[in-house]
A and B are shown apart, each in its own frame.
Chain A
Amino acid sequence: MLTDPLATRLPAPTVTAAPAARAVDAVKIYGRGDSAVHALDGITVDFGRGRFTAIMGPSGSGKSTLLHAVAGLDQLTSGRVFVGDTDLTTLSDKHLTRLRRDRIGFVFQAFNLVPTLTARENITLPMALAGRKPDKAWLRQVIDTVGLGTRLNHRPSELSGGQQQRVAVARALAGRPAIVFADEPTGNLDSRTGAEILSFLRMAVRELGQTVVMVTHDPVAASYSDRVVLLADGRIVDEIHAPSAESVLDHMKHLGR
């Protein structure tokens, strides 16, 4: 069991009324007729601004589908998703791309970085694609937070898995997005390195005021969040506030019953 590196928890920042992102009656069906699978079966959920939310559930529960839908990577069969006030279901591919670029940060499980670019170039890539200059002070703060100082001019192949994920976190935060989505960000890392990444994400929420939504199947990872949303068969079946690894594990055990 991991020890929490930030044992003394800071109080959560005040949550403003409007959520950073939300899904309303989200339905996603794969296939048709008898073979149809309801990956999302009418989910309504808010992701609070300045909060760290974890989405959990067993394989096939729809947790990744939900994340992809809210992040503008996947289309819903019905229902709506919002990032801020923007209804993603009405956006064209072009506008969705722009939204992802300008208002969303991503951390994936693996293959997070472009192998031909240096760590620094990877971090500023979304801004470069937008043709914007990064905010230098903020960028420095982000880079310092994830502790990459000396390896910025290295290419991904010269970085360890943990360092690569740190670069990914830094990229996700660099553009001050409205919301950061992390999809099993520690899935490929050993537990110690994973803990570091999770700490960075939590720090980003606590100290930098970012909003993070993370999909994970690891109760320890979930314990870094402020709130855990539990999914099963495409529905929200439970919620845990201020979770600990034990409480998450406990709730998950009850899922099967």
Chain B
Amino acid sequence: MFRLTLKGLWAHKLRFALTGLAVVLGVAFMAGTRVLTDTMSRTFDGLFTTANDGIDVVVQQPVAVDGEFTEARERVPAAVVDDIRGVSGVSAAAGSVQGFSQLVLADGEVGAVEGFGATIGTNWLPEGLSPLQLASGRAPIGTREVVVDAATAADQGWVIGDTVTVLGKSGPRDFSLVGTARYGDVDGLPGASLVAVEDATAQEMFGEPGAYDSVVVTAAPGIASDTLAERIGTSLHGGGYEVLTGAQDTADKQAQMKEDLQFFNAFLMTFAYIALFVGMFIIYNTFSIVLAQRAKDLAMLRAIGASRRQVLRSVIGEAIGVGVVAAAVGLGLGVAMSFALKALLGGVGLDIPGGGMVVSTATIVTSLVVGLAVTLVSAIAPAWRASRVAPMAALRDSAVERTTTSVRRVLVGVGLTAAGGVTFAAGTVASGTEAVQLLGLGALTAILGLFVLGPVVARPVIRILGFPARRISGTAGRLARENARRNPKRTAATASALMVGVGLVGFITILASSTKASIADAVDRSFRGDFVVDSGAWEEGGFSPALAEELRALPEVASVAPLRSTPVGVDGGSTTLLALDTTAIDRHFDLDVSSGAITDVHDGGIAVRRDEAEDLGLAVGDTVTMTFARTGDVDLTVDAIFDERLVDSDWIVDLGTFETNVTDQYDRWVFVDTVDTVDAATANAALEAALGAWPNAELQDQASFKESITAEIDQLLNLIYGLLALAVVIALIGIANTLALSVHERRRELGLLRAIGMSRRQVRTSVRWEAVMISLLGTVLGGIVAVLGAWGIVHALQEEGIGTMIVPAAPLVTIGVLAGMAGVVAATGPARRAARADVLQAIAAE
């Protein structure tokens, strides 16, 4: 029987190749993602090792607030560095500054605030205590000299002697470039720039005068790192410092980065799994069709004495063959793709330095196992069905599929869909991980339910979808419609694959539109002032408070209200605390205060959003404890309860409280209201002029403020579209596959049609229409999934401020039209083959 399996594979190699393609693409995506993240992980591991190269001990303050995105630590006073120098066994010690900075790039644009393309501001450390080594020039001295990493300098075309503008705590400052530096053995950090200035300047610009972010120490010869760490810990007794060996610190940072990369990896993997899930439909369908077409051969085997088991084993063997080959090819393609991705990332400035790609054993094993498993699971049902073929079938003519609407199918389909719906609904009211699991499980079950129901709805829906075909292409369209309806199972399974892709695209589209609409509503509702100056920063960095003062001094300006934020601890967790000028904010921004008054919030007071107040059982007059990195636990009195969700925070204090408890004062936004007697254009010009000196300031009126928020959503939307594209492409391969098999199956009929006068063109038209109908069926089903899913999520997110669901007509119609066009493209090959059908061969008697 094994030889039979091999022969079976060989005889249908093209079909199996097409089937395998669905697995290949999914596995490639998965393998590529893993290789890329493994490579990035190794790269960062290397960078953190470099960062502490030669460092024996690191001293810093412990994490005071472990925020959602950042950790807040206080700084180490400069005096501690001297204390450490006095500990016996210390060879050298130096304070290190690492803080927020932004570079004004060669094109006049300002570099990113955080994340990709951000700049790290640091102090120039003595040799042996820093990973930075001069590549050219000399170390910076005084308040006006800077060293930039060699990669950034080369990228921006900066040479020694050039003036470089660096943004820090106090605003922009011009520096003279006196040197470039390498970071260990690379020219720069991937996706980030480094600027280094002299100690005091660094403290002033990136940190805090008289303090360092950490102290790095090297041991005298013969002293072990951990011994020294212990000695330093003892001598600093009572200071509450975190004393780590260099190795420990490196390991901590590496672990932190791994966690971050894990998130990135999980995000990409989601799309790989979606692609594989869609691939399963294709494999299931292709195996079903191919085995149905071979039913006669299999029955013949049964008739001459093969057992059911042997037939099953032979067919399963074919699935294993396809799975193994496809998974292996996918793995290879994935590795190749990761090289391409690396090059691509390098092209946009995220160079991944050092060495080749990391293809771990885990990646190889996972790819092969998942590829094989996906194929096997999808092929089991068709294989089982094939093994049930009666030996007598060998003697009968191959029958056309006759699906009557089976009651069982309807019951199972409706049951699954309903169960999925209920689970999904439960997910929308649950929270956290549980919510995600319920939503995922619910969506999956509902999709399976629709998959089961597919053949039932396919006939009537195609009947309706077929009207345009009939009208436009007459008989060719009519034949297409009947062909799409003749094997409802096949049509439905093919369409289901597209349903998943289109459903997700539609879902994301609706969700994005609803979110944008809600934000626009919120802006319209609450934005009362004329302008806001946006720094682009949220967690770190922003403007010096000097900017707000400069604006306040303008005669055109009536009121200025800056907004600051910091991570704080509350109720055992962490959150973001906002600070506002509570006396002025009402003029700029309507917080929709329902209890108390925002102007009542001053020293020792706090405002809380209603949902949070209800969750914590807080009312005006109650006390709440906030944990600040600098001052620890502070009791604040609730003075107001507000409802507006636009500012993404539940807690607001006034600037005084903020200044008392937080070290770094950065304005993230500055609201500006102009004098009523000044017209908008004049005010705008005056503000623009004043902001000319602040390269990171972006002046926005209500409209552009709205736009800047929605633009971010669009960016994310496009990224997700790109990642979902693979799932859609796999579904289209499925359509091409099904049509190719159908055309092959109908070659006799096509020959007849050609004989009695159907032109090649009409044959092609007919096949194309069939593809369009399958595509549209998938799109319609996907649309339903999208609308229902989005409705559930939007409902669930009502607390997060997404009020109304917007079903955007234009994008959804575009998706439909594109799906139809994609169907035409998918049909190209099968249509051509159908039109070429050999009339004589087709009509020749058996």
Contact = CB atoms under 8 A, between A and B. Distances in A.
Nearest to A112: B752
A98 B840 contact: no
Nearest to B480: A116
Nearest to B476: A129
A101 B756 contact: yes
Interface centre among B400, B749, B755, B759 (most CB of A within 10 A): B755
Contacts of A108: 752, 755, 843, 845
A101 B754 CA distance: 9
The 10 A-B residue pairs with the shortest CB-CB distance, nearest first, are: A101-B757, A116-B482, A128-B475, A109-B845, A126-B757, A97-B759, A100-B757, A129-B475, A111-B748, A126-B756
Given A108-B845, A125-B756, 9 more contacts: A108-B752, A111-B749, A117-B479, A125-B475, A126-B756, A129-B475, A129-B758, A184-B845, A188-B845
Contacts of A113: 752
A79 to B, nearest CB: 18
B552 interface: no
B840 A117 contact: no
Interface string A83-117: 00000000001100110111000101111111111
Nearest to B753: A114
Nearest to A124: B475
Interface residues of B, number: 27
A151 interface: no
B839 interface: yes
Contacts of A131: 474-475
B762 interface: yes
A65 to B, nearest CB: 9
Contact of A94 (B753, B759, B839): B759
Interface in B460-510: 474-476, 478-479, 482-483, 485-486
B757 A97 contact: yes
A68 interface: yes
A108 B748 CA distance: 12
Nearest to B835: A93
B107 interface: no
A116 B762 CA distance: 17
B755 A100 contact: yes
Nearest to A73: B839
Contacts of A171: 756
A246 interface: no
A61 B483 CA distance: 38
A110 B845 contact: yes
B837 to A, nearest CB: 12
A128 B846 contact: no
A68 B840 contact: yes
Q: How large is the interface on A (under 10, 10 to 19, 20 to 34, 35 or more residues)?
A: 20 to 34
B153 to A, nearest CB: 68
B470 to A, nearest CB: 11
A167 B12 CA distance: 36
B758 A97 contact: yes
12 contacts: A97-B759, A98-B757, A100-B755, A101-B756, A110-B846, A111-B748, A111-B843, A112-B752, A113-B752, A116-B486, A117-B482, A129-B758
Contact of A74 (B475, B479, B840): B840
B756 A115 contact: no
Contacts of B479: 114, 116-117
Interface of B: 400, 474-476, 478-479, 482-483, 485-486, 748-749, 752-760, 762, 839-840, 843, 845-846
A115 B400 contact: yes
A187 interface: yes
B474 A128 contact: yes
A101 B479 CA distance: 17
Contacts, number: 79
Nearest to A156: B400
A95 B479 CA distance: 22
Interface of A: 68, 73-74, 93-94, 97-98, 100-102, 106, 108-117, 125-126, 128-131, 157, 171, 183-184, 187-188
Contacts of A184: 845
A171 B755 CA distance: 13
A108 B845 CA distance: 8
A115 B486 contact: yes
A213 to B, nearest CB: 15
A112 B756 CA distance: 10
Contacts of B845: 108-110, 183-184, 187-188
Contacts of B755: 73, 100, 106, 108
A150 to B, nearest CB: 22
A188 B845 CA distance: 10
Given A68-B840, A73-B840, A74-B840, A98 B752 contact: no
Contacts of A68: 840
A101 B402 CA distance: 31
Nearest to A93: B760
Contact of B759 (A98, A110, A115): A98
Nearest to A111: B748
Contacts of A128: 474-475, 478
Contact of B757 (A112, A130, A183): A130
Contacts of B475: 125, 128-129, 131
Contacts of A111: 748-749, 752, 843
A102 B839 contact: no
Contacts of A188: 845
Contacts of B474: 128-129, 131
B399 to A, nearest CB: 8
Given A73-B840, A100-B757, A129-B758, A157 B846 contact: no
Given A110-B846, A115-B486, A157-B400, A102 B752 contact: no
A39 B479 CA distance: 36
Nearest to B842: A111
Contact of A100 (B482, B483, B749, B756): B756
B749 A114 contact: yes
A117 B486 CA distance: 10
B485 to A, nearest CB: 8
A68 B485 CA distance: 33
A24 to B, nearest CB: 22
A183 B839 CA distance: 14
A18 to B, nearest CB: 23
B760 A97 contact: yes
B599 to A, nearest CB: 76
Contacts of A112: 752
Nearest to B757: A101
Contacts of B482: 116-117
Given A73-B839, A111-B843, A129 B757 contact: yes
Nearest to B754: A97
Contacts of B756: 100-101, 106, 125-126, 129, 171
Contacts of A98: 757, 759
Interface centre among A102, A109, A187 (most CB of B within 10 A): A109
A238 B485 CA distance: 51
